[in-house]
Amino acid sequence: MRKVIVTIIVSVTLIQLTAQQNIDEKVNELVSRLTLQEKIELLGGTGFDSKPVERLGIPAIKMADGPLGIRWGNATAFPATIALGATWDKQLAYNVGKGIAKEVRDKGRDMLLAPCVNLVRTPHGGRNFESYGEDPVLTAVLSTSYIKGVQSEDVLACIKHYAVNNQEYKRMTIDAVIDERVLREIYLPAFKSGVQNGNVATVMSAYNVLNGTYCSENDFLLNTILKNDWGFDGFVVSDWGAVHSTLGTAKYGVDIEMPNGKYLNETVTELVENGDVDQEIINDKVRRLIKVAMRFGFFDDRSYQSKEDPYDANKKLAYDAAAAGIVLLKNTNSILPINVDEVKTIALIGPNAAVNRAGGGGSSRVNYSYSVSPFDAFMSKYGDKLKIISEPGVRSKTELNIIPSQYLKTEFNGEIVSGFTGQYYNNKNLEGDPELVRVDEKIDFKWVAGGPAESIGVDNFSVRWKGKLIPETSGKFELGVASDDGVRLFINGEKVIDEWIDRAVAYNGYALALESGKEYNIIIEYYENGGAAEVGFGWIKADSQLLDKAVAAAKAADVVVVFAGLSEHYESEGYDRPDLTLPEDQLKLLAALDQLGKEHVLVINNGGQLVMPEVYANADAVLEAWFPGQEGGNAIADILTGVVNPSGKLPYTIGKKWQDYSSYDYYPEENDQIFYKDGLFIGYRHFDKNEIEADFNFGFGLSYTQFKIDDVKLSASKISSEADQLTVTCKLTNTGDVAGAEVIQLYTAYENPKVVRPEKDLKKFEKVYLEPGETRVVELSVIPSDLAYYSIEKRSWVTDNGKYYILLGSSSREQDLVQRVFEIDLK
Ligand code: BGC
């Protein structure tokens, strides 16, 4: 029997080797037929595509943004990655990756610029919502599952942003100064797992500098670690505009420069010809690109015929992911779930009640075709049974209500028509004669997959809109523009907004009193540099009654749910959050509601931590709903009413104040550097080490049922060989009377470690669904290498002999963990 197995293994390996050799031979053969100029052309993209070589049938690889869904035309908006992190559910992460990839295929794209695996280090980070949280293992496991899901549909995943891109502040230039051990143990494991366990096709190099060298030309990051240590055989794309040199980038890093080959296409030829860059380096880059293309079937028929409508199937998946990620942080006196059979009037208060905050801002923003707010969901589920009142209480000042064309007038070809006249220029500075002049009915543009017109292109253009604004009512208004990139607004000849800079989409407003029927001369100037392009012109009318109406609604209701939090206007790529609590006006609304002395449930939307202990303390129940994607309202309503039992767990620690966080002493910068002196101690590792009491711990989340963990057993008390596995089992019972899911979390701790080590680290986890009364045996295992640290001296991973602890439980809180001891004694 044994012989047969050995023979089979040997032949399978041989077949694999031969297949590998075949691919390598084919790739080499193709590379040998390319001219140097053709090879160099391949090193730069064209917007969101790589370049084809038609002569040899080498196709373009068509990319599109993620990770919350595909940003290309209308698509499904899934919950933000942080919500996926909070599901702690590997299968769901796989399914979401696969679901998105089906839409990628349907749209004829090939590569998804996702997942984002940068950790939440500082709560200020503008892109925290695109991260899986603060822990390297949670991030690695879930993002690798997502990658496998994406690639199961023959779509290339792109793990980003490599590496140590943990803040938006000065993201293009900040130098992250970090020790190698910290880099390898905390910030790189997800990338490593993506490469080694997920076989990810591509990696995106980050904008920032790492230890003095830009990530896109960082020999140590890209060659030493990624390509040599980890054996990555896919290709590296630069982040959009992250390349700063020709020589360094050609030699040390990136294989394809995006969005165009500003450096790699232009001057590389000269460098190869004069011997500064060995042609073999160029061959390697091209080989990587072609090899991935072969692996993903680009030389075969890639036409796509899906059996089902992916957008339809993804509605349920987006809902499931949103529901599974919502975290119940507090539930005093079991005020939740709301019993809809007993309640008559329910008040949904706050700026996020009737608006679904699907995602954060920037390149991850999906153009969804519908989005369900909590109010929509309550109305459709209970509208005929309950009295449902919704009052925003405050108007979020960054809300952009696009001004409809009936209020805009312009003279065009001698006639007065609705809209503004747009003059479109083929440069970024409104120079020369416009290439195109037309009337735009309103200013509300999101150009993702194409520019305003073929003659204008997708990047490097500018527009000047002119016309008159004629309001119908008088009162205090705010006029606002949201744009990616630069914008200026003139009212009656006065420049009131001037943001002529490259930026991810951001909002600026200007308050003024408008008079009904009066004409206001408006000029909007806008330019687009690269990547996505958008611009909108809107207004908000101030309503002094808003707060009073919300308080009155709360007074009249049996149940009050407040929907507070952030939106894509507060949390976005391109900038960090200046403060960590709710916007001022929302705090005023909560204070006014508190004065009523009525019980209330608080539902929050956000990506990074909202640090606000008093607000949490004043609420009777708190639901962390994240940015929940297009199905957010349905998921929130079902959790609030108990149709779904909450099972999310926090993927990061919520502290009581900003000073509690590990990055506090170093963020945002010091002379253009950000020091990672908190070392291994980010997130709960820092709270543990410094004995800081968190408001809500990493891994924490309540349920409407109760679980019991007992019978925690280890398969051995000692591990004596690298290959040995320690199996940890426990019995998990749902002792309550509703079905639900619990996440069993396994941490390890070290007794008298020889080197500095965190007090405990998450190593394994499993989400388990149980019917009421059901018991399941849960099994998790660790091997010695799971307990290793990176030794800079030895330049390798080391597991020391000694005494270790398994800490098993339902959160990282001390009281939720059962401790067992074991020994490692490797010869
Ligand atoms: C972002 C990337 C994104 C790229 C393309 C960059 O600004 O950092 O995450 O994939 O733009 O839109």
What is the band of 2 on the pLDDT scale with cuts at 50, 70, 90? Answer: very low
Question: How far is it, in rounded angstroms, from Cα 133 to Cα 178?
Answer: 19
503 CB near ligand 1 (under 6 Å): no
Question: How far is it, in rounded angstroms, from Cα 751 to Cα 500?
Answer: 57
240 CB near ligand 1 (under 6 Å): yes
For residue 9, what are the CA distances in angstroms to 2, 6, 197, 682, 755? 11, 5, 20, 43, 40
363 CB near ligand 1 (under 6 Å): yes
Question: How far is it, in rounded angstroms, from Cα 670 to Cα 578?
Answer: 17
Q: Give the SS3 label for residue 696.
A: strand
- Residue 789: what pLDDT? 98
What one-letter code names the amino acid at 791? Answer: S
239 CB near ligand 1 (under 6 Å): yes
Question: How far is it, in rounded angstroms, from Cα 628 to Cα 322?
Answer: 5
- According to DSSP, the β-strands at 175-177 and 673-675 are parallel
- Residue 1: what pLDDT? 43
Residues 586-611: what's their mean pLDDT? 96
Q: Of all protein residues, whose CA lies closest to atom 8 belonging to ligand 1?
A: 239
Ligand 1: residue of 48, 169, 239, 447 to mutate (most ligand atoms within 8 A of CB) is 239
Catalytic one among 110, 239, 638, 695? 239
Question: How far is it, in rounded angstroms, from Cα 746 to Cα 141?
Answer: 14
Question: How far is it, in rounded angstroms, from Cα 116 to Cα 136?
Answer: 13
Running DSSP on this structure, what letter comes out for residue 406?
A: G
Residue 311: exposure state from Cβ atoms within 10 A (0-12, 13-18, ≥19): middle
Asked if 239 is an active-site residue, the reply is: yes
DSSP conformation letters of 708-773: EEEEEEES-SEE-STT--EEEEEEEEE-SSS-EEEEEEEEEEESS-SS---S-EEEEEEEEEE-TT
Q: Of all protein residues, whose CA lies closest to atom 6 belonging to ligand 1?
A: 240
**649, 699 Cβ separation under 8 angstroms:** yes
Measure 64 CA to ligand 1 centroid, in angstroms: 10
CA nearest 526: which of 436, 435, 455, 422?
422
- Residue 816: what pLDDT? 87
CA nearest 83: which of 459, 360, 492?
360
- Residue 543: what pLDDT? 81
Query: Structure tokens of 663?
Result: 């990055």
Q: Which atom belonging to ligand 1 lies closest to the Cα atom of 532?
A: 12
Question: How far is it, in rounded angstroms, from Cα 812 to Cα 684?
Answer: 8
- Letter string b/e over residues 118-131, b meaning 16 or more CB atoms within 10 A of that residue's CB: bbbbbbbbbbbbbb
Q: Give the SS3 label for residue 53.
A: strand
Q: Which atom belonging to ligand 1 lies closest to the Cα atom of 531?
A: 12
547 CB near ligand 1 (under 6 Å): no
Residues 377-394: what's their mean pLDDT? 97
Whole-model pTM: value is 0.91
Residue 235 has pLDDT above 80, yes or no: yes
- The proportion of the chain whose per-residue pLDDT surpasses 90, expressed as a percent, equals 89
- Residue 397: what pLDDT? 59
pLDDT in tens, 461-500: 999 999 999 999 999 999 999 998 999 999 999 999 999 9
570 CB near ligand 1 (under 6 Å): no
What is the band of 583 on the pLDDT scale with cuts at 50, 70, 90? Answer: very high
Q: How many CB atoms lie within 10 A of CB 112?
A: 31
65 CB near ligand 1 (under 6 Å): yes
Q: Which atom belonging to ligand 1 lies closest to the Cα atom of 114?
A: 10
- Residue 150: what pLDDT? 98
- Residue 266: what pLDDT? 83
Lowest mean per-residue pLDDT among 80-84, 571-575, 623-627: 571-575
- According to DSSP, the β-strands at 235-238 and 520-528 are unpaired
Query: Structure tokens of 376?
Result: 């929509």
Q: How many CB atoms lie within 10 A of CB 766?
A: 17
**285, 222 Cβ separation under 8 angstroms:** no
What is the band of 8 on the pLDDT scale with cuts at 50, 70, 90? Answer: low
- Residue 18: what pLDDT? 66
48 CB near ligand 1 (under 6 Å): no
Question: How far is it, in rounded angstroms, from Cα 685 to Cα 653?
Answer: 10
DSSP conformation letters of 592-605: HHHHHT---EEEEE
- Residue 398: what pLDDT? 63
pLDDT in tens, 267-304: 788 899 999 999 999 999 999 999 999 999 999 988 88
Measure 207 CA to ligand 1 centroid, in angstroms: 9
Q: Which atom belonging to ligand 1 lies closest to the Cα atom of 574?
A: 7
Q: Which residue has the tokens 């295992």?
A: 781
Kindly report the backbone phi and psi dihedral angles of residue 68, in degrees, each rounded to the nearest multiple of 5, phi listed first: -90, 10
Q: Of all protein residues, whose CA lies closest to atom 3 belonging to ligand 1?
A: 363
For residue 722, what are the CA distances in angstroms to 15, 354, 508, 754, 770? 29, 56, 58, 19, 35
Lowest mean per-residue pLDDT among 150-159, 348-357, 442-451, 619-628: 442-451
